[in-house]
Structure 1
Amino acid sequence: MAVVSIWFLVLVALAGLLAPVLAPHDPTETNILQKYAGISLTYPLGTDQLGRCVLSRLLYGIRTTMLAAMLTMCITMLIGSLLGIMAGFFRGKVDGLLMRVCDVMLSFPAEVMILAIVGILGPGLFNIILANVLAKWAWYTRMIRSSVLQYVNEPSVQFVKVSGGSPFYILRKHLFPRISGEIAVFATLDAGWVILNISALSFLGLGVSAPTPEWGMMLNEAKNVMVTHPAHMLAPGLAILFVVMALNFLGDSLQQATTPAMYHHNKKGARPFAFHRRKKPVRT
């Protein structure tokens, strides 16, 4: 499943990069005379209410949606990793101050905070990325701090400390390689959530502005003709569904690879953490 998910995401990313070559039309070109045209060789997925090619907008929408999601995850993971490692390794006042700030940030629901930030700053791709980063960095900081605390007291790390190893050397050689797998799992599992958030904001009219092609914006435009032309919601809706599913499958597979003990199956194929029925006592 991980291999299939990786290949699917790679193909989607390549389709977005090669959109100028693969797209049959300009995604912003309008042609009212071809409004709501059906599937044909000229328009493989038909046209929308302005006569724009749905396939072209779908391909160019990969750039907007996945680029925003990847930028959001990279910035969030960078901030969360740096602060989480600092809090877990140095402890003391640094840890106390960062955890109190994280407590304040985590006291607000992420979705409400994102809506509030975008509502204040206004719609736009940069504001969406900023809102998602501000809403999620505290969660990553706390999770990565807990991962660092699992390894910082191990004998190998303590031996390097006693031997005079610098904090930078310990972080680079001993701690970061051990938590890098968990960081990858966090990023992969949460990337689908970010894509859903970006699409939801665009669907509500708080995301990218028209005529920029984006999957959530395409759903927003298709909802007005949902009864008369329901097929127009299938292309962007299925694109979001399959990409998020692939990211979730990939994250689960990475988690299974990094923590195999949690997913260990015995020879009989019993499920992990399953409750087995007790055998009835034999009457003599």
Structure 2
Amino acid sequence: MGTLNKLIQNRFAMICIIFLVTVVLTGFFAPWLAPHNPVDVNVKEKLAGISTTYPMGTDQLGRCILSRLLYGIRTTVLIAFITMAATIIIGTLIGGIAGLFRGKIDEIIMRICDIFMSFPSEVMILAIIGMMGPGITNIIIASIIAKWAWYTRMIRSIVIKYTDKNYIQFARVSGFSRWHIFRKHIMPNATGEIAVLATLDIGSVILMISALSFLGLGVQAPTPEWGMMLSEAKNVMIIHPGLMLPPGIAILFVVAAFNFLGDSLQDAYNVKHRKRWR
């Protein structure tokens, strides 16, 4: 309750939470909120200005920018959430096993993590996408492969920290299994720190997804996605630079909100800062 009170009392954190919840809900209800189909092409209305029909104008193919921006939430943010959730689950399972059993199992897992962490995550993602080809599924797989080792190592350290607590030692002496101790005693206490790690990193996942789409290695046209919108807008940047503003501002605000929320969670849980491996 103390942690929750700290978070509630932090006005900036609450603003970030309200903003992010609004963004997610807007993406969920995009089919009802968007004024047009995001992939409908109308060349006669290309590069149209702001109007009641097109509240943010149209792009070089006459597609509604507002509609593509709203549907882009579903693509960009959803991929980021799926990637982060899968990475956290894998990292928690493997990191929990390493932290609980220690010994040879821990040593083998850590050496495998060292191998994966010896490559910069961005380089590994580009290499995997280059081999597997562009696409939403391949982005998720590449991101998980590049990030699971870091989360495994971090979660292992969290588990080890809690295994030295007196109540954990008492549970062991009482005959409870390691799985029971992990599920009932360690995870409820470690969840806050894991949430901090995920919240601080999800912004970088969104940037990575947008960057890959911008380079043509991520989400493919005509699927609406913020990085793809930036990539398409750069083709007419000289004659119509305003096209880059909506997706660029959307990425900026969402990433900043996740970063500020992560900092607030870090303060609320009193988690020491861990520098993200690059």
Same fold (TM > 0.5): yes
Alignment RMSD (CA, Å): 1.1
1:219 to 230, 237, 240: 230
Residue of structure 1 equivalent to 2:166? 155
Residue of structure 2 equivalent to 1:109? 120
Residue of structure 2 equivalent to 1:271? none
SS at match of 1:210: coil
Matched, 1:130 2:172: no
**CA drift at 1:149:** 1.2
1:63 to 54, 74, 87: 74
Residue of structure 2 equivalent to 1:97? 108
Matched, 1:242 2:253: yes
Residue of structure 2 equivalent to 1:88? 99
The 5 Å alignment of 1:29-44 reads: 29-44=40-55
In the alignment, the residues of structure 2 paired with residue 151 and residue 85 of structure 1 have an alpha-carbon distance, to the nearest angstrom, of: 11
**CA drift at 1:94:** 0.9
Matched, 1:12 2:23: yes
Gaps of 5+ in 2: 1-11, 274-278
- Look up the equivalent residue of 2:205 and give its one-letter code: V
SS at match of 1:205: coil
In the alignment, the residues of structure 1 paired with residue 173 and residue 14 of structure 2 have an alpha-carbon distance, to the nearest angstrom, of: 43
In the alignment, the residues of structure 1 paired with residue 268 and residue 98 of structure 2 have an alpha-carbon distance, to the nearest angstrom, of: 27
Q: Deviations over 1:74-94 (max 9, x none)?
A: 000000011111101110111
Gaps of 5+ in 1: 264-284
Residue of structure 1 equivalent to 2:276? none
Q: Deviations over 1:46-103 (max 9, x none)?
A: 1001000000000000000011000000000000011111101110111001000000
Bigger radius of gyration: 1
Residue of structure 2 equivalent to 1:49? 60
In the alignment, the residues of structure 1 paired with residue 174 and residue 232 of structure 2 have an alpha-carbon distance, to the nearest angstrom, of: 64
**CA drift at 1:220:** 0.1
- Look up the equivalent residue of 1:77 and give its one-letter code: I
Residue of structure 2 equivalent to 1:143? 154
Residue of structure 1 equivalent to 2:266? 255
**CA drift at 1:44:** 0.6
The 5 Å alignment of 1:158-169 reads: 158-169=169-180
In the alignment, the residues of structure 1 paired with residue 88 and residue 145 of structure 2 have an alpha-carbon distance, to the nearest angstrom, of: 12
In the alignment, the residues of structure 2 paired with residue 154 and residue 31 of structure 1 have an alpha-carbon distance, to the nearest angstrom, of: 65
Residue of structure 1 equivalent to 2:85? 74
In the alignment, the residues of structure 2 paired with residue 30 and residue 7 of structure 1 have an alpha-carbon distance, to the nearest angstrom, of: 34
| Total equivalences in the alignment | 262
**CA drift at 1:153:** 1.3
In the alignment, the residues of structure 1 paired with residue 34 and residue 109 of structure 2 have an alpha-carbon distance, to the nearest angstrom, of: 47
Q: Percent identity?
A: 64
Residue of structure 1 equivalent to 2:241? 230
Residue of structure 1 equivalent to 2:5? none
Runs of 4+, deviation exceeding 3 Å: none
- Look up the equivalent residue of 2:93 and give its one-letter code: L
**CA drift at 1:148:** 1.0
Which moves more between the two structures, 150-159 or 123-132? 150-159
Q: Deviations over 1:101-149 (max 9, x none)?
A: 0000000000000000001100000000000000000000000111111
SS at match of 1:29: coil
In the alignment, the residues of structure 2 paired with residue 166 and residue 212 of structure 1 have an alpha-carbon distance, to the nearest angstrom, of: 48
1:182 to 193, 205, 211: 193
